[in-house]
Amino acid sequence: MRFAAPGYTRVRMSSSARLAAAIGAVVIIAALDSVAAARLPLSILYVVPVAFAGWTLGSREALGVAALATVARLATDLRWNGVDLVTVWNAAAWTAALVATARTGTWARARRAEVDALEGRVGELVQIEHSFARTDPLTSLSNRRAFVDALQRAEARGRRYGSSLAVVRIDVDRFSRVNEVYSRQEGDQLLRTVATSLSLTTRMGDLASRLERDEFALLLYGCGPADVQRVGQRIVDEIAELGRRYPDAHVTASVGVACFAAPGPDPDEMMRLAGAALHRARQSGGNTVTIEREWTPDQLRELRPVSQRPDAARPN
């Protein structure tokens, strides 16, 4: 993964511009070498444009630049030293060196492309793993872990800004009967349909999750008991309508809700109170909404054990 420095725009040269730059560099080096070769040999500089061509261009272009550099260097050598065994040896050695430089640059470019592709694939796999770790694979809703994390963040935000919060827990009544009387495939389809219904029921910014098996949950921001009552009743009515497809299972929904005014209890207590409301809804026969009363800060202090209250008497 590569990052550009802030405030700078990355300029990308076209292939033709890079090839022209490499050829231009060879011509400049040849011109300098033809003037200064007797006093200051510049042959080593030919490696730079050849390596640049190998790193940024294809094999054919890089070999072409290497051939041009070899010819330019040989022409300078012939001008200053004439034809002898040393000239021939130098020509052969520099030809091999520049060709090797071109091929090495091309090989390194190919390996860099492979590494970039591998990094991209690893990044994709990390994103997929992260998504699976927080997403229920059957319904594509958030799972329990993601829901609890969101609840913790919402509780912290509520303490800071004084916003209200509601936790809704939903159980599909007699879901096991769908698996027994119809099939597990029908049970899975029912869960997916319920998940779609919950996603459409929630507002943007709220969260719908599947906690386990046939239990779902909603995290509703800025909702009071009256608002949640309407949401809960809508869920009960919609799941009852979905249950008409399974007349022998008598599918309905039990909904338990707990509303909190900041500062609320900790997330575990929020889940427990919503779970207690859900339990009472089940005990009443299902197909109903049970709402835990809205806890004010004073009432929340009364919920704590005496030893944890701020005004509790300390032992002498």
If one compares 264 and 296, the residue with the highest pLDDT of the two is: 264
| 275: nearest Cα among 152, 202, 172, 167 | 167
Is there a contact between 235 and 181 (Cβ–Cβ < 8 Å)? no
> By C-alpha distance, which of 42, 29, 46, 34 is closest to 99?
46
pLDDT score at 11? 57
Q: Give the residue, 303 or 86, on which the prediction is more confident.
A: 86
Q: Closest Cα partner for 232 from 282, 169, 172?
A: 169
CA-CA distances (angstroms) from residue 158 to 48, 161, 165, 196, 236?
A: 61, 5, 8, 28, 28
Q: Which of 80-84, 90-94, 129-133, 136-140 has the lowest mean pLDDT?
A: 129-133
The residue ranges of DSSP E strands in the chain, in sequence order, are 165-173, 207-212, 215-221, 252-260, 288-295
CATH numbers and ranges of domains, the chain: 15-131 (no CATH), 144-307 (3.30.70.270)
Give the tens place of pLDDT for each residue, 144-161. Answer: 999 999 999 888 887 787
What pLDDT score was predicted for residue 57?
A: 87
pLDDT digits (tens, 9 = 90+) for 172-215: 999 999 999 999 999 999 999 999 999 988 888 899 999 999 99
Residue 228 CA to residue 256 CA, distance in Å, equals 10
Phi, psi of 225 (to 5 degrees): -60, -40
Give the separation between CA 158 and CA 152, rounded to whole angstroms.
10
pTM for the model:
0.57
Determine the residue type at 213.
Answer: R
Give 217's pLDDT tier (boundaries 50, 70, 90).
very high
Query: 119-128, 166-175, 301-310: which range is least confident on average?
Result: 301-310
Q: Residue 36 contacts by C-beta under 8 Å, 6 or more apart in sequence?
A: 42
Q: How far is CA 187 from CA 141, 169, 182, 251, in A?
A: 16, 19, 8, 11
Tens of pLDDT, residue by residue over 252-295, are: 999 999 988 766 678 888 899 999 999 999 999 989 999 886 55
Q: What's the DSSP call for residue 110?
A: H
Task: Flag whether pLDDT at 168 surpasses 90.
Answer: yes
Let me know: does 249 contact 178? Beta carbons within 8 Å: yes
Model confidence band, residue 310 (pLDDT cutoffs 50, 70, 90): very low
pLDDT digits (tens, 9 = 90+) for 16-45: 888 898 888 888 888 887 777 555 567 788
